[in-house]
């Protein structure tokens, strides 16, 4: 198992066939962007596509290394489109927004709302296949016990993410708010 995790860390599995699958996830983020802001520009679409590429080498999704995943996409955006798009990608992370004392970017809210366009069974299939669901469930266990089904957990996190995106509040998801712990 250790060799498989080394060759295929969770972040890479996520991008290849998991929650952040490199074709499906950008499509749902694009749909959420259209819902929130209207049609994105070519540069914004490019940022939607690359924003999670930094997960490629991450052994986990939400640990210290996983929190740094926006750096890769942000650096690509900077080289291609300039500083404005660097910040669009970097600040899709509420972690970085808080660190730099900035508001999260529009991409943050579209990213969170993308769960609205992700069918429950398809999301759960990908999350189980990549192994991400174990980490996500463990992170949320203070608010939703591990003994409840993945389907109930999905309904809970979906509601939280939709609220987060629509209200544009960086602390709407309890485990992302250090004060809630």
Closest by CA to 168, choosing from 120, 91, 110, 83, is 110
pTM comes to 0.90
CB contact set of 6 (below 8 Å; sequence gap of 6+) = none
In whole angstroms, give the CA distance from residue 46 to residue 97: 21
Which pLDDT does position 173 carry in this prediction? 47
In whole angstroms, give the CA distance from residue 129 to residue 54: 20
What phi, psi does 72 have (nearest 5°)? Answer: -65, -55
pLDDT single digits (tens) 15-35: 999 999 999 999 999 999 999
In this structure, what DSSP letter does residue 14 have? H
pLDDT single digits (tens) 51-64: 999 999 999 999 99
pLDDT over 80 at 71, yes or no: yes
Structure tokens at 34: 């259209």
CB contact set of 70 (below 8 Å; sequence gap of 6+) = 51, 52, 54, 89, 90, 91, 92, 93, 96
Which pLDDT does position 181 carry in this prediction? 26
DSSP 144-173: S-TTS-HHHHHHHHHHHHHHHHHHT-TTSS
pLDDT single digits (tens) 100-159: 999 999 999 999 999 999 999 999 999 999 999 999 999 999 999 999 999 999 999 999
- What average pLDDT does the structure give for the chain? 91
CB 137 within 8 A of CB 153: yes
pLDDT over 70 at 1, yes or no: no
Cite the DSSP H helix spans in 104-149: 106-113, 120-130, 132-140
Determine the average pLDDT of the residues in 150-171. Answer: 87
181 vs 125: which has the higher pLDDT: 125
Q: At 171, is the pLDDT very low, low, confident or very high (cuts 50, 70, 90)? A: low
Which pLDDT does position 168 carry in this prediction? 79
């Amino acid at each position: 198992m250790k060799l498989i995790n080394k060759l295929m860390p969770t972040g890479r599995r996520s991008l290849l066939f998991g929650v952040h699958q490199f074709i499906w996830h950008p499509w749902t983020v694009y749909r959420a962007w259209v819902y929130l802001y209207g049609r994105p520009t070519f540069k914004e679409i490019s940022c939607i596509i690359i924003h999670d590429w930094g997960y490629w080498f991450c052994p986990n999704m939400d640990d210290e290394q996983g929190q740094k995943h926006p750096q890769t996409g942000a650096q690509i955006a900077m080289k291609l489109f300039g500083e404005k798009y660097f910040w669009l990608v970097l600040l899709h992370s509420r972690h970085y927004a808080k660190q730099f004392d900035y508001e999260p970017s529009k991409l943050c809210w579209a990213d969170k709302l993308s769960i609205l366009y992700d069918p429950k069974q398809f999301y759960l299939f990908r999350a189980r296949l990549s192994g991400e669901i174990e980490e996500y469930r463990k992170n949320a266990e203070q608010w939703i016990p591990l003994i409840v089904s993945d389907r109930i957990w999905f309904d809970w996190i979906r509601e939280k993410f939709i609220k987060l995106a629509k209200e544009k509040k960086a602390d709407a998801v309890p485990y992302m708010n250090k004060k809630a712990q």
